[in-house]
Amino acid sequence: YTSPHIRDYTERIAVSGGNIPGGKFAGIIEELKPSILSHEPRITFFEAITTAAIYHFLEQNTTVNVLEIGLGGRLDATNATTPELSVITRIGYDHTQTLGKTLLSIAREKCGILRHEKPAVVGPQRPRARSAIVKSADEIGARPFCWGRDFTAELNRQSDKGLEGRYKGIRLQTDFRLHLLGAHQIENAATAIAASEVMLTDMDAKTIAEGLENVRLDARIEVVGKKPLIIVDMSHNAESAVTLSKALKEHFSGHPGRVLLIGISRHKNRSAILKTLSPFFTEIYVTRAGFARAEPSRRVLNTCAKYHSHCIEIPSVSQALSEIIPRLKQDDLLVVTGSAYIAGEALDRLDTRKRTDVC
């Protein structure tokens, strides 16, 4: 169970690699509808979808369920469950209006998913965040397995086709390959391997390596066009902008024309995002996704102009792509980013894979 979706709701709920069928998803929502509408206090959209996911997993008699926190941890709908394992990935400054403005306060909210006498895998962290997590784990009585102490990984090689790394963990050591771009994915893979080691004690290195080699992630530095090169990425905050910027410099600096199409959601640090990304690009176009929490493109444009001399506003993602792509040369680069919603609208326009409309 993951969120948000990129192109349609059925992405959020998957069993053994297959998204929930649209009709099945709609049927579960219809069955839950009386409870949703009568509940006081009123159930949120995310709470309803989380309930639908758990309902589906129960019907499918799943063995292992992976639930991604929607926001924070302590008060998230997914935290109504009793996890056998908790995983905390790298903590950054996001949703600060809800979680607090310091790493310490954000870390404490994240630690709300830890459980007494249950293991917790902790990915790479800034020292202060890691200290807060370990302290909370001690207070709760959880058993933390931490990056750098219990497991680690190193990047051996990267190319435009992916990454090769080496994992050293709690009991396993293995080489692995990823068909993903960006050195940060080595850390993510290591955290996933550590979680597998802790949760699935009979897991072997060969199975892990095969699984990682088959991983595909939509809108994570995803190449959707070759000539010109078109990349769609769902980076949406200052932290992920830094990660994206680093990957672009490592892989794509040789393109003479480097064009950015970006739209940003409200309550995100658009100044930090644009300051980080702008230097890499020769042209920047700003737009707005078609959802309520999107920042008006004029505000993004005004911020962009502080960091780049060539910023142009185009009202929608579809219109922007229609205007930009015909002007690109075959050896140019176009990057579309700023939010999951921008990425989704871009993929709807650029990708021929079928979308399922159920809501």
Kindly list the domain boundaries of the chain, sorted by start residue. Answer: 151-217, 222-350
pLDDT at 358: 45
pLDDT at 342: 98
In this structure, what are the phi and psi dihedrals at residue 327, rounded to the nearest 5 degrees?
A: -90, -10
For 85-105, b where at least 16 C-beta lie within 10 A, e where not — what string? bbbbbbbbbbbbeebbeebee
Task: Count CA within 13 A, CB hemisphere, residue 325.
Answer: 18
Q: What is the rounded distance in angstroms from the CA atom of residue 254 to the CA atom of residue 258? A: 9
pLDDT at 352: 57
Three-class SS of residue 142?
coil
Read off the pLDDT of residues 308-331 as tens digits, 9 standing for 90 and up.
Answer: 999 999 999 999 999 999 999 999
Contact present, 176 and 167 (Cβ < 8 Å): yes
pLDDT at 269: 95
Instruction: Give the C-alpha distances (Å, rounded to integers) separating 55 from 29, 45, 52, 317.
Output: 10, 15, 5, 35
pLDDT at 356: 47
Q: What is the rounded distance in angstroms from the CA atom of residue 255 to the CA atom of residue 173? A: 38
Q: What is the rounded distance in angstroms from the CA atom of residue 56 to the CA atom of residue 2? A: 14
Angle, to 10 degrees, between the axis of helix 184-199 and the axis of helix 238-252? 120
pLDDT at 97: 78
Compute the C-alpha angle 259/260/266, nearest 5°: 170
Residues of the chain with pLDDT below 70 are 352-359
For 151-185, b where at least 16 C-beta lie within 10 A, e where not — what string? bbbeeeebeeebbebebebeebebebbbebbbebb
pLDDT at 232: 98
pLDDT at 353: 54
- 3-state DSSP percent of the chain in helix, strand and coil, to 5: 40, 20, 40
Starting from the edge strand earliest in sequence, which strands make up the sheet with 86-88, in order? 86-88, 119-122, 143-146
pLDDT at 95: 77
Report the predicted TM-score, pTM, of the whole model to 2 decimal places: 0.92
Read off the pLDDT of residues 12-42 as tens digits, 9 standing for 90 and up.
Answer: 999 999 999 999 999 999 999 999 999 999 9
Residue reference for tokens 């920047």: 284
Secondary element (H or E) of residue 164: strand 162-168
Three-class SS of residue 182?
coil
pLDDT at 201: 86
Contact present, 125 and 137 (Cβ < 8 Å): no
pLDDT at 228: 97
The answer regarding whether domain 222-350 maps to CATH 1.10.510.10 reads no
Q: What is the rounded distance in angstroms from the CA atom of residue 262 to the CA atom of residue 39? A: 39
Q: What is the rounded distance in angstroms from the CA atom of residue 9 to the CA atom of residue 356? A: 8
- Give the max Cα distance, the chain: 59
249: tokens are 């410099």
pLDDT at 92: 82
Contact present, 262 and 297 (Cβ < 8 Å): no
